[in-house]
């Protein structure tokens, strides 16, 4: 067999082996461009009402529906029309066949029943069985566990829940011949205390890191950016920045390939103190920015409202080079947010540092109806553009001739080629 062909087959085999070792599903499109779909955004008024019909499925590699609920320890729909929503989302695969649809449990308001269910072996067994049954019934591809947030006392049961879900998903896949259900989790800070990195790395396919809400108007006195890439919310050295938190998760034992950087498609804002001398980071404030005209939330505006108010209120926009993120202000209000430049910078940082991808919270807060004249979904399109850039060409110079490769490394017929690209360092053993 010609040497170049043997080497190619060897790389295919090694690629598949690495995927298996890492626990990644080879069918997942990489890098991840995950998208959370919030099932309550449908109830917003007018143009802000967001439904499956508003989604461009080419912009996401997976969509997670937030949230389902747990009723008598069973996975059940939350909204009256969730099952119809699942069907509509699954049908998006006709446009993007690689798209995966997940279902999220937990969240800020629905974590309590998740904790209660997890606290007993019987509760977990019921939940695991119902998850497999219902995810298959709804033709969904997996489960996302958003436990906000496990403390040190919860570490054992959180890890046990993930392990029992993963074991059951693998067993069901072997018995049925169907692709294994995917398992993900949303996490925040290591300092929350309830995370066992090694266990999570064994059980999870996707780890969504919520590197946002690091500052907000719950701290009334002064303004700060909620998701700085570097430094901290006030452009001072702090562990509350994207870079530090992502590296902490790597140090905890999570494979970079599984770690996804969270991108907020909304901003956190304040009302400024009258006559404030400064409008920059750490400026004096009196409380949360006025309630959003679209989401009804005080202290937070979706991206499309921010860009609209910037024009209407003639706001000043600053891109802070120290934190690599944007904010806008007038004499009365201030808001920190991720714009196209910020999103692009973070996405490229993710790629340059070898992480598995990004995800957005959430679809309904991008400008999906083109209020600002930037086109539909400008932030998601910025992610797509940043991840679509062709990789740099690398030339490998060998100081020794290629050795004869033993026949045993030729992959068996069961190994299918993948699109995964290996780092050149992984070729060293073959020279």
Q: Which has the closest alpha carbon to 111: 172, 47, 63, 154?
A: 154
pLDDT value at residue 367: 98
Beta bridge partners of 222: 284
**Among the four given CATH numbers 3.20.20.80, 3.40.190.10, 3.30.460.80, 3.20.19.10, the one describing domain 7-264+339-388:** 3.20.20.80
Cα 307 from Cα 303, distance rounded (Å)? 6
pLDDT value at residue 27: 79
Binned at pLDDT 50, 70 and 90, residue 389 comes out as low
Binned at pLDDT 50, 70 and 90, residue 431 comes out as very low
Q: What mean pLDDT is predicted for residues 5-28?
A: 45
Strand 32-38 relative to strand 62-71: parallel, antiparallel, unpaired?
A: parallel
Tally helices (H) and strands (E) across the chain: 10, 15
77/13: higher pLDDT: 77
Q: Does the structure show a pLDDT above 50 at 417? A: no
Cα 144 from Cα 361, distance rounded (Å)? 14
User: By CB neighbour count within 10 A (0-12 exposed, 13-18 middle, 19+ buried), where does 2 fall?
Assistant: exposed
Summarize pLDDT for 231-287 with one digit per residue, the tens: 999 999 999 999 999 999 999 999 999 999 999 999 999 999 987 788 999 999 999
**Catalytic: 148?**
yes
Cα 218 from Cα 203, distance rounded (Å)? 35
Q: H or E element: which one contains 202?
A: helix 197-203
Domain ranges of the chain: 7-264+339-388
Q: What mean pLDDT is predicted for residues 178-186?
A: 98
Q: What mean pLDDT is predicted for residues 126-148?
A: 98
What is the DSSP annotation of 264-300? ESEEEEEEEPTT-S--STT-BEEEEPPPPTTT--TTE
Asked whether the beta carbons of 224 and 281 are under 8 A apart, the reply is yes
pLDDT value at residue 423: 37
Q: Does the structure show a pLDDT above 50 at 48? A: yes
Q: What mean pLDDT is predicted for residues 4-23?
A: 42
Residue among 74, 79, 148, 248 flagged as catalytic: 148
Summarize pLDDT for 310-327 with one digit per residue, the tens: 999 999 999 999 999 999
Q: Which has the closest alpha carbon to 27: 52, 59, 61?
A: 61
pLDDT value at residue 275: 78
Asked whether the beta carbons of 241 and 232 are under 8 A apart, the reply is yes
309/2: higher pLDDT: 309
Return mean pLDDT, the chain: 88
Q: Does the structure show a pLDDT above 50 at 175? A: yes
pLDDT value at residue 345: 98
Q: What mean pLDDT is predicted for residues 14-29?
A: 50
Q: Does the structure show a pLDDT above 90 at 289? A: yes
pLDDT value at residue 390: 66
Cα 131 from Cα 50, distance rounded (Å)? 26
pTM of the model: 0.86
Summarize pLDDT for 112-123 with one digit per residue, the tens: 999 999 999 999
CA distances from 81 to 49, 68, 85 (A): 15, 12, 6
Dmax (CA) for the chain in angstroms is 79
pLDDT value at residue 276: 76
């Amino acid at each position: 067999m010609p040497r170049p062909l043997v080497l190619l087959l060897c790389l295919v085999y090694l690629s598949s082996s690495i995927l298996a070792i890492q626990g990644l599903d080879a069918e997942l499109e990489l890098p991840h461009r995950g998208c959370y779909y919030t099932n309550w955004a449908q109830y917003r008024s007018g143009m802000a009402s967001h439904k499956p019909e508003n989604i461009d499925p080419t912009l996401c590699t997976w969509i997670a529906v937030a949230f389902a609920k747990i009723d008598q320890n069973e996975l059940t729909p939350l909204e009256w029309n969730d099952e119809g929503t699942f069907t509509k989302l699954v049908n998006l695969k006709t446009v993007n066949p690689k798209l995966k649809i997940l279902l999220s449990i937990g969240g800020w308001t629905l974590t309590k029943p998740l904790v209660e269910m997890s606290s007993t072996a019987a509760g977990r067994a019921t939940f695991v069985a119902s998850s497999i049954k219902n995810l298959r019934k709804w033709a969904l591809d997996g489960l996302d566990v958003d436990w906000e947030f496990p403390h040190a006392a919860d570490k054992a049961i959180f890890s046990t829940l993930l392990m029992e879900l993963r074991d059951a998903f693998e067993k069901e896949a072997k018995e049925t011949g169907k692709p294994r259900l995917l398992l993900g989790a949303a996490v925040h800070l290591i300092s929350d205390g309830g995370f066992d990195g090694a266990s999570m790395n064994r059980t999870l396919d996707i780890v969504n890191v919520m590197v946002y809400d690091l500052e907000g108007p719950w701290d009334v006195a002064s303004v700060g950016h909620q998701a700085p890439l570097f430094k901290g919310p006030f452009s001072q050295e702090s562990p509350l920045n994207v870079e530090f938190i992502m590296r902490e998760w790597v140090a905890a034992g999570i494979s970079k390939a599984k770690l996804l950087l969270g991108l907020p498609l909304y901003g956190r804002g304040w009302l400024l103190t009258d006559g404030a001398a400064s409008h920059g980071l750490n400026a004096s404030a009196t409380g949360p920015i006025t309630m959003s005209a679209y989401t009804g939330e005080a202290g937070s505006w979706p991206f499309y409202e921010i860009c609209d108010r910037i024009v209407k209120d003639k706001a000043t926009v600053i891109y802070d080079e120290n934190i690599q993120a944007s904010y806008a202000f007038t004499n009365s209000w201030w808001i920190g947010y991720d714009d196209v430049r910020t999103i692009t910078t973070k996405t490229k940082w993710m790629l340059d540092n070898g992480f598995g991808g990004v995800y957005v919270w959430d679809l309904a807060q991008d400008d999906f109806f083109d209020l600002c004249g930037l086109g539909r979904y400008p932030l998601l399109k910025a992610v797509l553009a940043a991840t679509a850039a062709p990789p740099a060409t690398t030339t490998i110079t060998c100081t020794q001739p290629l050795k004869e490769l033993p026949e045993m490394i030729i992959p068996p017929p069961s190994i299918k080629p993948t699109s995964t690209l290996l780092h050149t360092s992984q070729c060293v053993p073959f020279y």
